Amino acid sequence: MTLALTRRPGLARLRAARQPLYLACLGFVLLVVLAALLAPWIAPSDPNAVDLGNVLAGPSAGHLLGADTAGRDTLSRLLIGARTSLIGPLGVVVFSTVAGVAVGAAAAWRGGWLDSVLSRSTELVFAFPGLLLAILIVTVYGEGLLAPVLALAIAYLPYVSRLTRSLVLTERERPYVAAYLVQGHSSVQICLRHVIPNIAPVVLAQSTVNFGYALIDLAGLSYLGLGVPALTPDWGRMVFDGQTAIQRGYPLSAILPCLVIVLTVVAFNVVGERWADQVARRDR
Amino acid sequence: MPDTVLEVTALQRTFGTVRAVDEVSFALAQGGSLGIVGESGSGKTTTARIIVGLDRPDAGKVLLHGRDRTERARGRAQRLARARQIQMVFQDPYLSLDPRTSVQAALRETLRLHFPDIDHARRIAELLDQVGLGSWAADALPRRLSGGQRQRVAIARALAVEPAVMVLDEAVAALDVSVQAQVLNLLADIREQTGIGYLFITHDLGVVRCVTDDVVVMRHGRIVESGATAEVLAAPRHPYTRLLLDSVPRPGWDPRQIAAARRAL
Amino acid sequence: MTRTLDIKSLRLRLPDTARPVLDGVDLHIAAGETVALVGESGSGKTLTSRTVLRLLPKGAETEGEVDVAGENVLAMTPQQLHALRTGRVAMIFQDPRAAINPLRRVGDFLTEGVRLTGTLSEQDATRRAGELLEAVGLSGAVLRHYPGQMSGGMLQRVMIAAALMGDPVLLLADEPTTALDVTSQAEVVALIGELKERFGTGLLFVTHDLGLAAAISDRVYVMYAGRIVETGPAEALFADPRHPYTRALLDASPRLIEPGRRLAAIDGQPPDLRQELTGCPFAPRCRFATGLCTTQAPQPQAAPGAPGHLAACHHSDRLAEGAADA
C-alpha cells in the first residue's frame, strides 16, 4: 500500500525521525496531555489572579516562570491554557476524522456520481484557505471556541477524506473483500467491520499530524483575538497579550507560549509520521 | 442422468471492445466436478466472477437448480440465499483472508450470518477437522499460517455456508507441489462426503486431470472444446487443446516445436 | 577447465534463525551447461541463485566459496562486484513487470547497463539492443515502447535480451516462466535454449517445477531445507530418483498420474527456520526414515555405477527396491 500523508512543507523534513527523537516527542506529547488533565490541581496560582506588584516580573519563587503585563502567573496560565489549546484541536481532529472517513469511504465504495460530487466538493474546500474560512465563520457567529473548531474541522476534512478514499479504493480491490461479498455479507458491513479497521492506523496517523496543524491554526486565531474569549487562558492569546511585554523589553511571557506551541506541534508531527512509517513497514 | 445443479447459458461480457466472455454455455451435474481451462485472457476468471455474482453478464443466464441468479440480489434474504448456492475459493491464500481476523473469528462471522441458531464453537471445530486443521488453528491469524493452511481455512469458510456449488479459482496454483497434492486430495474427500459440486477454474491440465469429470477449454472468451476430461485429454479434437497438452513440460519435450505450433494457431 | 560456476560448501546464516538458511550447498555449472535447481518455497533455491551475484539479505553471513569463472564472488571488492553484475553474470527474474521501470522506454532499459559502465557507446548499445530484440523474436520497434504496452511474454523476452546485453558467461533464471501461460512458457524456454547455444552461456534455471527442470536441463539439483538432497543427470533423476523427497515430489505432481487417482501427497510441512535440525531434514515426512535418519545427517553418496548421480540419503538403496516392488 502506498502511504501519502498530507504535510505542510516546513514540517516534511521531520519525516526521517529517528528513534530517540520519536521517544522524546512521544514523551513531550504525554507530558502536555497530562499537564492539561491535571492543570487545576498542579497550577500554583489562579491564572487570572492579577498581582500588580509583580507586573512583568522575572522568574522567582512566587512566579516560577515570571508574570505578564497584568501580573498574572505565566506558569499557571500555560498549564490551564493547555486545556483550551488542546481541546480545540482535539475537536477539530475528531470531527474531521469521523466526517472525513465517512465521506471518503462512501465516495470510494459507491463510486459513480456520489464519488464525483463528494470529491469535487472536498476539493472546493481544499482550494479555500482554512484560516480564512475560520475567520469568516467566527465573524458571523461571534466569540467562542465552537465556531473556529467547526470551521477548521471543515477545512481539514479533505485531508482525511482524500486519504481515506484512496486507501479504501486499494483495500476494496483486495480479494478478501470479494470473499466476504460472496459469503453474503452486505457492503456496509464489510466496509465497517473490515475495510475501515484495516485502514484506521494510517488515517489515525494523518489525524495526529493534523492535530499539530490545528493547534497552530487555532493559536493563530486566538492571537488575532478571534475565537477564545479574552479572559480564558490560551497559548495563542498569551502570545497576543505578550506583545506589549516584548515592546517593553520583557519578552519571557510571550516567548514561553510560543515555545510550547512550536514544541507541541513538532512533537505531534513526529509521532504521527512515525506511526505512519510503522504501518507502512508492517504492510510490506 | 444426474440432475443439473448449475447451468450457464450463452453468457456474454464485454469490456470496452474486448469480448471477455462470448456465448459461453455449460452445465454442472449434481455432485459433479467441472474444469474450466484456459490461459490468461481466455475469459475463465470473468466467467467465474459472473457465476458467483461478483460481476454481471451483458447477456445470458446463470441458473442454479433452474432458478436465475443473474440479477443483482435484492435484500438480505436473497443475498444470503445466493451465498448458500455458490461459494468461492480464491487463488491467493495470502490475500483472501482479512489479515486482522483470526481463523475462528472468520468462521464465526460466516456462521452468525447464515446459521445464527446453531452451536458455533462445535461447528467451527467440525469445519477445521473437515479441512484437516487441528483446533490449534482456531486462534491463529492468517499471517501465522502457511499457504496450504490458509487455503484450508478459505475452504472451511466456504463450506461453512453449506453451498451447493464451490467455485475454485486457481485455488491451488500458488501452492507448492507437495502442498497442492494435499489440498487436491482434501477437495476430493470433501466432494465424496458432501456431494458438493466443483467448478475448477485453472490453467493447469494436471489439476484438471486429477479432480474433474468434465472439462471446458476456453480461448479468447469462447469455448473451443468440451467433454469428459479423460476423453478430451486422451484425444483432443481442437488444435488449441492439443497445444495446451503438448505445452506441459516432460522429459523429451521439444519447446521449439510447441512455439512453432503456437505461432501457427 | 574452469567451471563457469562453482559453489563450494556454501553456508548462509540470517539473523533470527536457528539454523543456516543454506547449509553446505555444492553446485557447479560447466561452460555452456544448463543446470536446474529445483525446490519448494523456502528451500533456499532463490537465495542460492542470488548469492551468485551477492544479492544477499541484510545481516546475512556467508561461509564457503562461490566462484564465477574462477573468481570468488564472496571475496570481491565493490568495484569487482559491480563489473560482475553488469557483465559476466546476468539474471532473469520471475515477474518481468516488477523488474522493469514502467516509466522508461524499453530501449533505455536495455542500453542503460552498458552505457553506464562505458562498455559500449550509445549508438553501439542501441544497435546491439536492436539485434538482441530480433534474436528474442521481437522487432526493433519495441525499443520505443513502454513496458505497459507489452504482454508478460513479450516483456520476459525483453528481460532476456537485457540479460544478454553484457555478453554474460552465466545466466541466472529465477522461475522465469512461472508468471507466464503454459504456451508462452514453452516459447520462452525454447528461446532461452536457442540463445544459450548461440552465445555459449551457462544457465542456472531455478524452478519449483520438477517436470520443467527435467525437460530442459542437462543436470538437476534438488534442494530441501537449504541442502542439496539429490543431484544427477535429468533423465536418471526422473526415472530412478535416489532421494525419497525427489520420489515424493514426482508422486505428488498431478500431471504425471492416471486420471481420477488420488495423489500421493507428502504429509506435513518443510521444517521451520526457527527450528534447529539434527539428522536428515526430510526425516519427519519420510516413509523410509529410521532412527539413524533423525540423529545423523546423511552425506551425498553416488549411485552404483553413476558417479554424477548423488543423493544425501541413508536409504537410497531401499528406495530403489521399493520402486521396483511398486
pLDDT tens by residue, C29-51: 998 899 999 998 888 999 999 99
Q: Which of C249, C177, C265, C206 is nearest to C46 (CA)?
A: C206
Question: What are C226-247's pLDDT values in tens digits?
Answer: 999 999 998 888 888 999 999 8
8 Å CB contact between C286 and C268? no
**How much is the pLDDT for A220?**
85
**How much is the pLDDT for A217?**
87
The mean of the pLDDT values for chain C is: 86
H-helix or E-strand spanning residue C245:
helix C244-252
Q: Could you give the strand order of the β-sheet that contains B222-228, starting from the edge strand earlier in sequence?
A: B86-89, B165-169, B197-202, B33-37, B214-219, B222-228
8 Å CB contact between B21 and B13? yes
**Residue C274, in any domain of the structure:** yes
Q: How far is CA B132 from the centre of its chain?
A: 20
Least confident of A39-53, A101-115, B159-173, C153-167: A39-53
SS3 label, residue C262 = coil
B partners (3+ CB pairs within 8 A) are A, C
8 Å CB contact between C180 and C152? yes
Q: Given B205, B229, B246, which is nearest C255 (Cβ)?
A: B205
Rounded Cα–Cα distance for residues C321 and C306 (Å): 17
8 Å CB contact between B33 and B212? yes
Residue B147 contacts C where some CB pair is shorter than 8 Å: yes
pLDDT of residue B62 exceeding 70: yes
Residue C272 contacts B where some CB pair is shorter than 8 Å: no
Give C82→chain B minimum CA distance, Å.
34
Q: Which of C19, C12, C38 is nearest to C211 (CA)?
A: C38
The more confident residue out of B36 and A150 is: B36
Rounded Cα–Cα distance for residues C162 and C133 (Å): 9
Q: How many CA atoms lie within 13 A of A279 on its CB side?
A: 22
Architecture of domain B4-234: 3-Layer(aba) Sandwich (3.40)
Q: Given A176, A182, A198, which is nearest B87 (Cβ)?
A: A182
CB–CB contact B88 A181 (8 Å):
no
CB–CB contact C253 B206 (8 Å):
yes
pLDDT of residue B104 exceeding 60: yes
Give B87→chain A minimum CA distance, Å.
6
Rounded Cα–Cα distance for residues B98 and A177 (Å): 8
Question: Cell numbers of A167, please?
Answer: 486507501
Around Cβ B133, how many Cβ atoms within 10 Å? 20
CB pairs under 8 A between A and B: 57
pLDDT of residue C209 exceeding 90: no
Contacts of residue A75, defined as CB under 8 A and 6 or more positions apart, other chains included, come to A43, A44, A63, A64, A65
pLDDT of residue C276 exceeding 70: yes
Least confident of B18-32, B54-68, B221-235, C158-172: C158-172
How many residues are there in chain A?
Answer: 284
Residue A173 contacts B where some CB pair is shorter than 8 Å: no
Mean pLDDT by 10-residue block, N- to C-terminus, for chain A (284 residues)?
60 62 90 89 81 75 76 86 88 94 91 86 81 80 81 89 92 89 90 89 88 87 78 83 80 85 89 79 56
Residue B242 contacts A where some CB pair is shorter than 8 Å: no
Q: Which of A84, A127, A86, A12 is nearest to A234 (CA)?
A: A84
Contact between chain B and chain A (3 or more Cβ pairs less than 8 Å apart): yes
Report the DSSP pairing between strands C227-233 and C306-311. Answer: antiparallel
C-alpha distances (whole Å) from C51 to each of C7, C39, C271 are 10, 16, 22
The more confident residue out of B229 and C100 is: B229
Q: Which residue of B has its CA nearest to A199?
A: B100
**Residue C71, in any domain of the structure:** no
CB–CB contact B101 A182 (8 Å):
no
Return the amino acid letter for C216.
Answer: I
Give the residues across from C204 on adjacent strands: C35, C172
**Residue C156, in any domain of the structure:** no
Q: Which residue of C has its CA nearest to B234?
A: C259
Give the residues across from A255 on adjacent strands: none
Q: Given A182, A186, A194, which is nearest B98 (Cβ)?
A: A194
Rounded Cα–Cα distance for residues A209 and C299 (Å): 59
Judge residue A1's burial from the number of C-beta atoms within 10 Å of its C-beta, 0-12 exposed, 13-18 middle, 19 or more buried. Answer: middle
Q: How many CA atoms lie within 13 A of A192 on its CB side?
A: 6
Residue C274 contacts B where some CB pair is shorter than 8 Å: no
Rounded Cα–Cα distance for residues B77 and A184 (Å): 9
pLDDT of residue B196 exceeding 50: yes
8 Å CB contact between A219 and A88? no
8 Å CB contact between A52 and A71? yes
Least confident of A63-72, B102-111, C188-197, C211-220: A63-72
Q: Which of C59, C64, C47 is nearest to C14 (CA)?
A: C59
- Residue A197 φ then ψ, to 5°: -60, -35
**How much is the pLDDT for C324?**
44
Per the structure, the complete domain to which residue C295 belongs is given by 241-325
The more confident residue out of A90 and C319 is: A90
Give the residues across from C36 on adjacent strands: C205, C220
> CATH 3.40.50.300 region(s) of chain B?
4-234
**CATH number of the A17-46+88-283 domain:** 1.10.3720.10
Judge residue C313's burial from the number of C-beta atoms within 10 Å of its C-beta, 0-12 exposed, 13-18 middle, 19 or more buried. Answer: buried
**How much is the pLDDT for C255?**
65
The torsion region of residue B232 among left (phi > 0), alpha (psi -120 to 50) and beta comes to alpha
Give A99→chain B minimum CA distance, Å.
24
The mean of the pLDDT values for chain B is: 90
pLDDT band at C141 (very low <50, low <70, confident <90, very high): confident
Instruction: For this complex, say whether ipTM is above 0.90.
Output: no
Domain count, chain C: 1
Rounded Cα–Cα distance for residues B143 and B103 (Å): 11
Around Cβ A129, how many Cβ atoms within 10 Å? 10
Alpha helix (H) ranges present in B174-253?
Answer: 177-194, 205-211, 229-234, 239-246
C partners (3+ CB pairs within 8 A) are B
Q: Which residue of A has its CA nearest to B87?
A: A182
Judge residue C301's burial from the number of C-beta atoms within 10 Å of its C-beta, 0-12 exposed, 13-18 middle, 19 or more buried. Answer: middle
Q: Which of C36, C49, C38 is nearest to C253 (CA)?
A: C38
pLDDT band at B175 (very low <50, low <70, confident <90, very high): confident
Q: Which of B27, B36, B215, B217 is nearest to C260 (CA)?
A: B215
User: Helix-strand-coil percent breakdown of chain A, rounded to 5?
Assistant: 75, 0, 25
The more confident residue out of C144 and A231 is: C144
Give B56→chain A minimum CA distance, Å.
13
Rounded Cα–Cα distance for residues C219 and C237 (Å): 9
8 Å CB contact between A252 and A61? no
pLDDT band at C326 (very low <50, low <70, confident <90, very high): very low
Give C124→chain B minimum CA distance, Å.
30
Give A197→chain B minimum CA distance, Å.
9
